[in-house]
């Protein structure tokens, strides 16, 4: 028989027990709550055969397992966040017993309390920007070719090299331009947000996106400014045809669960 551990998804304040009834955690296990000093941990039992140290190390690198676990983790966090202010914990935070989980959460009470206060009344929104430089590059390329035909007296080799050099310069300028535009988009959104965190650009193989990712940011926005924030994203998205914006959310405040000093470089 495999040992059972306790998976901790999140810590909430004032989470009504009824809110989590029927919610399933990883492996379909029923979620329950551990109360302590005014905070509530959202947990479920897991097999240490799957979530023990050695197994976890292996499983985390299996994309199928990672996806199932990430989605299960998110479903629980999302359900809690829909009912109460909730700080998500890192993926696969596992204890050997409920007592150990309770003890550890008690030790970190102050930190959770501060985190909960920091995110109360605020929601995380994600904004991603992609530049489609192929489109603009193609147009400019066509223009260059037109110019070229008019000056066809030049030696083909020389004009090819010159054309290549001009093309490179144009591409370089286009890249610089969209990066400046991405900074401006980020600045405007930062003005509407309580705080912002940058995530690393996504791997196109994972995202399936072909454009060049020029912004991958999470913004913590006061709930009363959420409409303004969304409207700003729509407005900014209409400004430049070669830049596409995607808004995601509302998210539980994953990106803002820890203080800024603790954000790891991404």
Partner 1 sequence: MDRSVSVPTPRPPTPARGQRIALVDLLDRLLAGGVVITGDVTISIADVDLVRISLRAIIASIRPEMDRVLEEGDDVRDEPIQGVVVREDPRP
Residue 27 DSSP code: G
> What is the CA 11 to chain-centroid distance, rounded?
20
Select 1 or 206, whichever has its Cβ closest to partner 1.
Answer: 206
From the list 37, 100, 176, 184, which residue makes contact with partner 1 (rule: CB under 8 A)? 100
Select 1 or 200, whichever has its Cβ closest to partner 1.
Answer: 200
From the list 27-35, 101-109, 172-180, 182-190, the region that binds partner 1 by CB under 8 A is: 101-109
| Cβ within 8 Å of residue 196, ≥6 positions away | 186, 189, 190, 217, 218, 219, 220
CB-based contact 115:160 (threshold 8 Å): no
151: helix, strand or coil: coil
Site for partner 1 in 24-53 (CB under 8 A): 48, 51-53
The first and second tokens of residue 124, run together, are 């995380």
Is residue 203 close enough to count as binding partner 1 by CB under 8 A? yes
Select 179 or 246, whichever has its Cβ closest to partner 1.
Answer: 246
221: helix, strand or coil: strand
From the list 56, 174, 179, 194, which residue makes contact with partner 1 (rule: CB under 8 A)? 56
Site for partner 1 in 145-184 (CB under 8 A): 145, 160
CB-based contact 246:128 (threshold 8 Å): yes
CB-based contact 251:218 (threshold 8 Å): yes
Least Å distance, CB 153 to partner 1, is: 17
Least Å distance, CB 176 to partner 1, is: 18
Is residue 264 close enough to count as binding partner 1 by CB under 8 A? yes
From the list 49, 63, 117, 176, which residue makes contact with partner 1 (rule: CB under 8 A)? 63
CB-based contact 219:186 (threshold 8 Å): no
- In whole angstroms, what is the distance from residue 134 CA to residue 137 CA? 5
The first and second tokens of residue 81, run together, are 């966040």
From the list 17-25, 174-182, 183-191, 258-266, the region that binds partner 1 by CB under 8 A is: 258-266
From the list 31-39, 86-94, 174-182, 188-196, the region that binds partner 1 by CB under 8 A is: 86-94
User: Residue 37 — left, alpha, or beta (φ > 0 → left; ψ -120 to 50 → alpha)?
Assistant: left
Count residues binding partner 1 (CB under 8 A).
80
From the list 16, 21, 35, 71, which residue makes contact with partner 1 (rule: CB under 8 A)? 71
Q: Which residues partner with 22 through β-bridges? A: none
Is residue 258 close enough to count as binding partner 1 by CB under 8 A? yes
Least Å distance, CB 139 to partner 1, is: 12
Is residue 195 close enough to count as binding partner 1 by CB under 8 A? no
| Cβ within 8 Å of residue 198, ≥6 positions away | 216, 217, 218, 266
From the list 45, 133, 240, 254, which residue makes contact with partner 1 (rule: CB under 8 A)? 254
Is residue 12 close enough to count as binding partner 1 by CB under 8 A? no
Is residue 245 close enough to count as binding partner 1 by CB under 8 A? yes
């Amino acid at each position: 028989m495999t040992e059972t551990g306790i998976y901790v998804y999140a810590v909430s304040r004032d989470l009504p027990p009824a809110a989590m009834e029927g919610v399933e955690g990883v492996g379909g296990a029923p979620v329950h709550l551990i109360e302590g000093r005014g905070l509530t941990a959202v947990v479920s039992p897991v097999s240490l055969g799957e979530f023990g140290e050695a197994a976890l190390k292996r499983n985390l690198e299996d994309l199928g397992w990672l996806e199932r676990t990430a989605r299960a983790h998110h479903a629980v966090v999302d359900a809690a966040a829909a009912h109460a202010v909730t700080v998500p914990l890192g993926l696969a935070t596992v204890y050997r017993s409920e007592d150990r989980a309770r003890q550890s959460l008690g030790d970190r009470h102050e930190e959770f309390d501060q985190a909960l206060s920091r995110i109360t009344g605020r929601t995380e929104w994600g904004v991603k920007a992609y530049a489609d430089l192929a489109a603009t590059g193609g147009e400019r390329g066509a223009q260059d070719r037109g110019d070229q035909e008019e000056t066809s007296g030049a030696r083909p080799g020389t004009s090819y090299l010159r054309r290549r050099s001009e093309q490179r310069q144009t591409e370089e300028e286009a890249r610089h331009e969209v990066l400046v535009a991405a900074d401006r988009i980020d600045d405007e959104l930062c003005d509407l947000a309580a705080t912002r965190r940058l995530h690393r650009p996504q791997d196109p193989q994972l995202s399936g996106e072909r454009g060049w990712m020029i912004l991958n940011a999470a913004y913590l926005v006061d709930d009363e400014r959420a409409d303004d924030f969304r409207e700003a994203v729509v407005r900014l998205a209409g400004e430049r045809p070669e830049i596409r914006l995607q808004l995601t959310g509302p998210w539980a405040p994953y990106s803002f669960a820890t203080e800024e000093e603790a954000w790891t470089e991404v």
